Amino acid sequence: MTIATVVATILSPMPASAACPDAQTAARGFKLTHASGRFLEVTKYDGDVVHYREQVSPSAATARDITAYRGVLGLSSEGAGERNEIVWAGSLAALFPLKAGASHDLDFVVRSSKGTERKAHIRLEIGSAMAGLAVGRCGYEVWPLKREVVFHDTGLKVSGTDYWSPVLRMYLRRDIRVHVPGKGSTAGGPSSDGISLTYDTIEARP
């Protein structure tokens, strides 16, 4: 390696991905990663609709392309040969701006490309105050959003808390617990207390 090459390397600008995503740089997307291979990548903002790809385990088979209203409530998901559309009975815009301590009850229907339709209800509770959350070396202020979803056909209940960043319009951590009627709480196993989708790094897309 020549001296000129060494100098050029030292003086070259840091890549954009080295910076923590903020309200400006997040517009081109960003990626959250975990050492296990899990990831969440925001690919596009289309008005109030956030497009992202999420893989919740090391297996690529769990990858889904998802759209969500402001990154809070899902609108569609696609993966493993199936597409789901989520139709909401109420106005999602009415939830915003989020208010500390507020709670919202909404009904929705999940329509599958395989011809099934499932009715469900969600209760969303906004935390009493924002909190700090670190992802790697990056820090953000987030709203704790406690949610409980109940599917009417089976009684399946999915509960937990999303830690949602208003700056990035996406959750940066998600705690999940699944309750199957007759089997108790489960998330990855019958005896599990739940799972937490946390991330080690966050980087802006180039």
Residue 77 pLDDT exceeds 50: yes
The token duo for 26 is 């997040």
CATH number at residue 75: 2.40.360
Domain coverage including residue 73:
15-204
Asked, for residue 64, whether it belongs to a domain, the answer is yes
Query: How far apart are the C-alpha atoms of 185 and 202, rounded to whole Å?
Result: 31
Is 133 a member of any domain? yes
Residue 145 maps to a domain: yes
Global pTM reads 0.85
Give the total number of structural domains in the chain: 1
Q: Beta strands of the chain (E only): which ranges? A: 30-33, 39-46, 49-55, 63-69, 73-79, 82-88, 103-112, 117-126, 131-135, 138-151, 157-165, 170-180, 184-186, 195-197, 201-204
The better pLDDT of the pair 144, 183 is held by: 144
Predicted confidence (pLDDT) at residue 18 exceeds the cutoff of 70 = no
Residue 121 lies in a domain: yes
Q: What pLDDT, on the 0 to 100 scale, is given for residue 201?
A: 97
Residue 8 lies in a domain: no
pLDDT digits (tens, 9 = 90+) for 98-129: 999 999 999 999 999 999 999 999 999 999 99
* Residue 146 domain flag: yes
